[in-house]
């Protein structure tokens, strides 16, 4: 009789900190540099990624299941999808084709491959539920309000 030794549990939650590489370090085809003033680059610097990742992680099991798609990828894709009012499949295609969007979701370099299956959106809607989406919204709105106040103070000086 053969006994199989079980592997110890590995962490199933993946997340890369919001300490994103600089825009100059992002690798693109043909050695092209990304524009620091692009809307996705600017927005990436203002999103509270770690806060949103903690909301996302509450819906996951750290000990069981398949390894999760990185929280930054999921959250970034959800933001892109809703900001541009895209259907699931089109959102994946837009991210695949756009280096700025790939930077926004936390990639270190442009990748011509599909970043994830469009069915991830279905899974995330079921997994996260309305409560988590409302938490995402309130965190983003709060951060946006803080940014507006900072901007107004700078203008009044």
Tens-place pLDDT, residues 56-115? 888 777 777 777 788 899 999 999 998 899 999 999 999 999 999 999 999 999 999 999
pLDDT band at 9 (very low <50, low <70, confident <90, very high): very low
Task: Copy the structure tokens of residue 55.
Answer: 């909301």
The pLDDT value recorded for residue 127 is 78
pLDDT band at 155 (very low <50, low <70, confident <90, very high): low
Task: Copy the structure tokens of residue 45.
Answer: 């610097």
Half-sphere exposure of 45 (CA within 13 A, CB side): 10
The pLDDT value recorded for residue 6 is 45
Phi/psi region, residue 142 (left: phi>0; alpha: psi -120 to 50; beta: rest), is: alpha
pLDDT band at 23 (very low <50, low <70, confident <90, very high): confident
pLDDT (mean) for 3-21: 60
Q: Which residues pair with 105 in a beta bridge?
A: none
**Sequence spans of domains, the chain:** 23-146
pLDDT band at 157 (very low <50, low <70, confident <90, very high): low
35-60 confidence digits (pLDDT tens): 999 999 999 998 999 998 988 888 77
pLDDT band at 151 (very low <50, low <70, confident <90, very high): low
* CB distance 153 to 135 below 8 Å: no
24-35 confidence digits (pLDDT tens): 787 777 677 889
């Amino acid at each position: 009789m053969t006994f199989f030794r079980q592997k110890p549990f590995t962490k199933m939650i993946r997340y890369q900190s919001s300490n994103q590489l600089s825009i100059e370090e992002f690798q693109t085809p043909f050695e092209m540099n990304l524009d620091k003033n692009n809307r996705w680059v600017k927005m990436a610097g203002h999103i509270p990624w770690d806060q949103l990742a903690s909301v996302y992680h509450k819906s996951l099991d750290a000990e069981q299941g398949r390894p999760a798609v990185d929280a930054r990828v999921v959250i970034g894709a959800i933001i892109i999808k809703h900001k541009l009012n895209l259907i699931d499949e089109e959102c994946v295609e837009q991210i695949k084709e756009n280096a700025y969007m790939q930077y926004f979701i936390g990639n270190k370099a442009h990748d011509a491959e599909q970043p994830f299956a469009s069915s991830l959106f279905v899974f995330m809607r079921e997994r996260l539920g309305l409560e988590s989406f409302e938490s995402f919204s309130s965190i983003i709105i709060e951060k946006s309000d803080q940014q507006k106040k900072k901007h107004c103070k700078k203008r009044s000086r």
